[in-house]
Structure 1
């Protein structure tokens, strides 16, 4: 993908630097900018294009795996084993992203170029890199718990240096917070130039938004901090605000909008999003094979129970197909498709997935207010989201009822945006929700048993990584 990474258009012409083999690779401002392009390019890997959806929406009650991949069926049915190759692919891709920013954080401070001193650009680059490292580690710690903290470039291939033991969850979250505080103190609210620049690059708003999510998600959550950082985003000089029309968020014509905090700038061609081709129905994709990430019966019922037609129609498209779907139609029939991406364009879509957007933060603020005993104020925030899609004000009046109302609102607002599994685990409801699902395999007429346990809230450490690094112990519940 092409990301607008400079104060002027010439930066997009830089070739990315993703690895350094000698100190000579980092001598000028252009070298630093090119390295940053390479760091942002981590968002074009398979994890960030669609496996984040598989391990947050498909693994939950929102979607079925669809398609024909046994390893994704295992994700859907919560039968994930350490040898599932998607685990190692995602682990490796995220750590590659970390390696890229570690080089920037190590090398850029040593560059003496007046161009980096102009407008404090060197500090901004370091802030962007620190944000990216925090974002990557946030993905790792949510999925696997404690992971190795690699905070400097490798200077040797010796396993004694490269193979590190797992740090604790608390240590990983502490490092994420350190990086985000470092980033927030160096990043601008907006960048000069086209709006796409401020939506493509880390800003103070993005750092504050991620801090809010981190303080909510970590085991010893701090809702006062969540509220503080949500308010910082909502009152940001960047002027974030909800779009009046929910469907504009996903129609492909309104990206880099006021609600967007951070999004990947897919441009098509060689710098495109290939994910939509895997999800969209024949009328949109131009092909007839069975697609992945199929909306669940339970998700459709959730939309219908709220009479939430606006978000349902923006998120799900029903279409007649000829294949068998074990949850919707045997031998063909009407099947729903994940529809927040709208255009496949022959594996070269410009459709995007938001990395951070304001509605998520407003709902997180409602959650924080409710957890702090300010349920009436929480209702105000929740109703702002509901009102945008013409739904009546919430009737939740107690703290417990409000928590469930916010959880459901997040489900409907953020479906297919890689948030649901995080929410269920944060609320301590993953076991209850998954084990109470009433799903039937139409091929056999038998109910689906997810056998959800507390241990399954974390993924197994990839076996290939454990074979390489003997210091890695396995998560409980896995062999």
Structure 2
């Protein structure tokens, strides 16, 4: 599936600007009056309708490369045990400030804030739906298709708002009253599910021609499965332990139904894959360098020279380019999580493994992490402190080290062929959702529903792609151990770990009052010594109040019907 190409569009309510396409061609519109279309005139042209709905796809860029909520790539995983941000100064070091000093978060000083931007997107989508109903001169089938596309986008925006806050304001149509109450979290998840279900019912299985890359039935079912999984997780794990707000939480008795809903929605995507719509790519490493992978359910495409990002400059090793930022690096906790090639667990207590820790590891290790001895861009990586260019430096020894503070660098999603990083930047694609994630959703939901055979089959498919043996799931504890492991390594640096720990209500266990680590590697005779080092230098904290982020104070002031989430 080809990803949708983004264009720069001037955003105004029901105002569509002429867009210069990447090909250099322009769009010619009859403008009457000169500065603004009337509502009715916009809807007379299907080209205008297309431009309006395509502009709403910009929301996906907010979350590309895991940059939400801080605004830096991989910032979400840097809130977890997967990545360490290297900077100790404001700006580049904001992630560290958040994990070390969460008390700085308040309703008037939010780091994890999507409220205003999210409701801006919702307003524009609801304007589209209103205009579509009032003015569009289209056949009912085409109207239904546009509605399905718009409701997918609205569901996606609400998905992020509810992940953050639990209880938010539901607006299913244009709202002219600025004062609106929060709805209960269970109602919010059901509203999101209804939008994705409608989209799944009315979107096509494939997009062709000019529509190629826009949302499809498979993407809708994938997001529907993810929505129900989140709702089921809250129903199972929250139990009103962390917040007594009357509107947060999902009734525990609904978990079975919601897990079943997630399993059923994911099963539709698996059926579509059996029909040839999706597949797991054979080479895990190449998956992230392909532009049009059949593993992708929905992709954001970038294209040089006009639509680019800076992932390579942000994470590449310093020898790649002068000016490399090295914003974040993998932790020892992540490196150690990858299995051996035969499926056995890696352990530093095993003398053979500890003596040469980077040999005979599973394929995802080599595709995800650059380590001492890696072959990269026609050189052998040297991450020992003796290498002054890209060797290990202790965290906080310099404010902006721009080198590894853990002994590792990111490999996943870097473009090994990009040799002109500063001038041409980067144009790797970002998969909003891919088939492997759907299989992991299906495995978790099926196992939680008591279908261990189905859970085993989906996990087997994910592990089989990287030649790892199957895990025969026979109990729920075994299921969750396998699921957490697979999601950590399969989805590393794809922005999922932080939200998994929150929905499982494990963040206060894994991320609170703890420190993460790296490996300081030094030459010793013909080999190396591997010293575990503290890459944090102070404890990280995750307050239980963070399971529900506050409503911004400005919204409380402006909306007289709005109440603050309890605990804030």
Q: How many equivalent pairs are there?
A: 456
3-state DSSP of counterpart to 2:67: helix
Structure-2 residue corresponding to 1:8: none
Q: TM-score, normalised on structure 2? A: 0.72
Q: CA RMSD in A?
A: 3.4
Corresponding residue to 2:335 among 300, 305, 323 = 300
Distance 1:398 1:25 in 2: 57
CA distance in 1, matches of 2:431, 2:148: 20
Q: Deviations over 1:369-402 (max 9, x none)?
A: 2112232432222122112112222265432122
| 1:95 corresponds to | 119
> Tell me, what secondary structure is at the counterpart of 1:416?
coil
Pairing of 1:29-428 with structure 2 (within 5 A): 29-45=46-62, 50-51=67-68, 56-67=76-87, 68=89, 69=91, 70-77=93-100, 79=102, 81-82=105-106, 83-84=108-109, 86-88=111-113, 90-113=114-137, 116-117=138-139, 120-153=141-174, 161-193=177-209, 197-198=211-212, 200-218=213-231, 219-220=234-235, 221=255, 222-236=258-272, 237=275, 239-251=277-289, 254-284=290-320, 286-289=322-325, 291-303=326-338, 305-306=345-346, 308-318=361-371, 320=383, 321=390, 324-326=393-395, 335-343=407-415, 345-346=421-422, 348-394=425-471, 397-428=474-505
2:552 paired with 1:462: yes
Structure 2 CA distance, aligned partners of 1:51 and 1:325? 27
1:445 & 1:63 partners in 2: Cα distance?
10
1:51 aligns to what SS in structure 2? coil
Deviation readout 1:34-80 (Å, 9 max, x if unpaired): 10121112223477761256564222222223334343223333615
Q: Deviations 1:301-322 (Å, cap 9, x if unpaired)?
A: 2125456442122222246437
Q: Indicate if the aligned counterparts of 2:368 and 2:410 stay in contact, CA closer than 8 A.
A: yes
Q: Secondary structure of the equivalent of 2:297?
A: strand
Cα deviation 1:262-303 (Å, max 9, x = unaligned): 0112113332233443333324454144x3232222112212
In 2: Cα distance, 1:476 partner to 1:293 partner: 34
Q: In structure 1, what is the Cα distance between the partners aligned to 2:261 and 2:44?
A: 39
CA apart distance, 1:250: 1.0
Identify if the C-alpha distance between structure 1 residues 323 and 389 changes in structure 2 by more than 3 Å, giving closer, same or farther: closer
TM-score, reference length from structure 1: 0.84
Distance 2:3 2:10 in 1: 11
Following superposition, the deviation at residue 25 of structure 1 comes to: 3.6
Task: Output the CA distance in 1 between the equivalents of 2:564 and 2:75.
Answer: 19
Change (3 A) 1:464 1:292: farther
Q: Give the Cα separation in 2 of the matches to 1:404 and 1:202.
A: 33
Q: CA deviation at 1:463?
A: 3.6
Deviates more, 1:460-469 or 1:175-184: 460-469
Greater Cα offset, 217-226 or 60-69: 60-69
Asked which structure has the greater CA Rg, the reply is 2
Q: 2:515, 2:535 within 8 Å by CA — same for their partners in 1?
A: no
Answer whether contact 1:20 1:103 (CA < 8 A) is retained: yes
Q: How far is 1:164 from its partner?
A: 2.7
Cα 1:18–1:428 shift into 2, 3 Å? same
Retained in 1: the 8 A contact 2:4–2:299? no
Cα distance between partner residues in 2 of 1:25 and 1:141: 32
